[in-house]
A and B are shown apart, each in its own frame.
Chain A
Amino acid sequence: MSMKDWSPAYRRYQQRLIGASMLYLLSLLPVVWLFNHKAPQGVLAYGLAVLPALPVIGMFAAMGLFLREETDEFQRFLVVRQILISTGLTLSVCSVWGFLETFVSVHHFEAYWVAVVWFLMFGAARFMRWGL
């Protein structure tokens, strides 16, 4: 689908995704700086630590809004299929990695990498069009 074929719902989804990505950067960089230089404590530390996760949640919400707003059922079907493929692949990778961490000495990844892997898989799933 080329840019000129984008539906209004898809355009809104792209705008929300870009907005959430910018908010992510705008929240992550100061939070990293604060924890490196000021070592916040208590409730403030919890609040600051959670801050960069909120735009990531926003990205998933943007996806949900797209599925609600898109009126073209085939386009919705393609995105739902993409979500299912990326979810399956991500859970598979994480399951394999989890057992490797438990039984063999491999690098431990923080849980937020799951979202990164999911988005990578989501991008890759766009090109997995067997039967379509």
Chain B
Amino acid sequence: MENRLRVLRAEHGWSQADLAERLGVSRQSVNAVETGKYDPSLPLAFKIARAFALPIEAIFSDDAA
């Protein structure tokens, strides 16, 4: 799954640690999602979407789609 986390973080001026704190997860977890090594669950994807005030599909996209 592709994602725009790095770009969105840069736009907001947030580090991985900043985003991790907002999401209540570890920085390692944000890094894993951002680099595409780990696909988040739907609840975490919604949390990420809320943090950026965007719909999920504006952040994540399915490679197969």
Interface residues of A (CB under 8 A from B): 1, 5, 7, 71-75, 77, 131-132
Contact = CB atoms under 8 A, between A and B. Distances in A.
A74 B29 contact: yes
Q: How large is the interface on B (under 10, 10 to 19, 20 to 34, 35 or more residues)?
A: 10 to 19
Interface string B19-36: 000001111110011000
A74 B25 contact: yes
Given A73-B44, A74-B32, A5 B38 contact: no
Interface of B: 24-29, 32-33, 37-38, 40-41, 44
A132 B26 contact: no
Top 5 closest pairs, chain A to chain B, by CB: A74-B29, A72-B25, A132-B37, A74-B32, A72-B26
B44 A5 contact: no
A5 to B, nearest CB: 6
